[in-house]
Amino acid sequence: MEDSNLSPGAKAARYWFVDGIPDIVSGVGLAVWGLCLIWFAEPPRRLIALIGQAVFLTAYLGQRWISEIFKSRTTYPRTGYVRPPAARRQESARLITIGDGSTLPDENVSSFPGPTFVVLIVASALIAAIGIRWAVPAIMLGSALFLYLTSKESERPYDLRWALVLPVFSVPFVFFGIPTQALENVPELTGGIWLALQGAWHLRNYLEATANYRHA
Amino acid sequence: MTKIQNLLSVDRVVHEPARLMILKFLESVGEADFTYLQAQGGFTQGNLATHLTKLRDAGYVDIEKTYKGRVPLSICRLTPAGRNALKKYVRSVIDALGAPS
């Protein structure tokens, strides 16, 4: 995965995702939200939905802080600490100003997981608009391919094999007897589980690769 | 003094390749600890410590001994003086040699 042509800033941004912890934090938040919305859709229970939303917002807004707690026990003692990537907003503004998207500035920045959440929420809206059970895997396949293609050059690229797992996760929901109005929340649940599993996979690989670390 | 002769007056603390690399790293990433810099730059422990000491003595790098959780870390940051020195060095080299085509 290590690309020697990457600038130090881009390398540092990728390093934030090397252990899968940010994926796990975001994924768990999203999955809990989706689960609350699906399981308690019929009859509607506002309190549970609000709790799910609170968990999601905490994971989204506090992603850096929560990830750092875990990283300080696993990643920093093994392969060192570098400042977590800042939000990409400032950089986009500059790219628009200078009109050159071909060469990204050498900065430690990231926009993850915002775009992933947006894609899953759009998928959710599409499923709600179409309202057909079989549309769920098709929309999830489209979302997965979109995520794969748009993240290719980013600091957190999705692997094609992992991207293709996302629609497979949604297939059981076609057969489950969940209410049709709850189907629209399948992207949040499956997307969350998908992200968390990827994170767990990366964490396992990272721990294996750094098994013989020395204490700093 | 001709433009090319300006190279004689570049900051020798910055001019050393390993220190230049450390300054460039820190400029790009914001802050990093000793272990990360060592891995990214391919330094030995002693080599990195020597260069960091020189940069700290020149006032270009700030080294903070702190904890993240229970792990002790030596976090290195570029100081404003270090940022200016790096900028000045790059400008001097470009002025003397010309911008890369």
Q: Kindly report, residue by residue over A98-146, the tens digit of the pLDDT.
A: 333 334 456 788 888 888 989 999 999 998 898 888 888 999 999 999 9
Place B2 in a pLDDT band, splitting at 50, 70 and 90.
Answer: confident
Contact B73/A83, CB-based, under 8 Å?
Answer: no
- For the segment A191-210, the average pLDDT, to the nearest whole number, is 95
CA distance B45 to chain A (A): 11
List the alpha helices (DSSP H) in chain B.
Answer: 12-15, 17-29, 34-41, 45-57, 80-97
Dig out the tokens for B5 from the structure.
């002769």
Report the pLDDT value the prediction gives residue B8, as an integer from 0 to 100. 84
CA distance A62 to chain B (A): 17
Cβ neighbours of A108 in B, within 8 Å: 28-30
Report the pLDDT value the prediction gives residue B86, as an integer from 0 to 100. 94
- Find, among B41, A158, A20, A43, the residue nearest to B76 by Cα: B41
Residue A29: DSSP 8-state: H
Task: Name residue A110's beta-bridge partners.
Answer: A87
Report the pLDDT value the prediction gives residue A212, as an integer from 0 to 100. 79
Report the pLDDT value the prediction gives residue B72, as an integer from 0 to 100. 86
Question: pLDDT per residue over A153-162, tens digit each?
Answer: 888 899 999 9
Separation of alpha carbons B44 and A149, rounded Å = 39
Residue A118: DSSP 8-state: H
Report the pLDDT value the prediction gives residue A146, as an integer from 0 to 100. 94
- For the segment A3-28, the average pLDDT, to the nearest whole number, is 89
Separation of alpha carbons A191 and A121, rounded Å = 10
Separation of alpha carbons B64 and B72, rounded Å = 10
What is the average pLDDT value for chain A, to the nearest integer? 83
Determine what percent of chain A is predicted with pLDDT higher than 70. Answer: 86
Cβ neighbour number for residue A181 with a 10 Å cutoff: 13
Q: What stretch of H or E contains B67? A: strand B61-68
- Find, among B59, B53, B100, the residue nearest to B83 by Cα: B59
- For the segment A31-41, the average pLDDT, to the nearest whole number, is 82
Separation of alpha carbons B22 and B62, rounded Å = 12
Contact A77/B25, CB-based, under 8 Å?
Answer: no
Among the partner-chain residues A9, A11, A77, the one whose CB lies closest to the CB of B71 is A77
Among the partner-chain residues B30, B33, B69, the one whose CB lies closest to the CB of A80 is B33
- Give me the residue label for tokens 């609170």: A54
Question: pTM here?
Answer: 0.84
3-state secondary structure of A109: strand
Please give the ipTM for the structure prediction.
0.85
- For the segment B12-41, the average pLDDT, to the nearest whole number, is 93
- B65 contact A CB<8A: no
Among the partner-chain residues A7, A72, A81, the one whose CB lies closest to the CB of B28 is A7
Question: pLDDT per residue over B39-97, tens digit each?
Answer: 988 999 999 999 999 999 999 999 999 888 778 889 999 999 999 999 999 998 888 88
Among the partner-chain residues A69, A82, A107, the one whose CB lies closest to the CB of B32 is A82
- B68 contact A CB<8A: yes
- B37 contact A CB<8A: yes
Least confident of A159-163, A176-180, B12-16: A176-180
- For the segment A164-184, the average pLDDT, to the nearest whole number, is 82
Cβ neighbours of B30 in A, within 8 Å: 12, 82-83, 86, 108
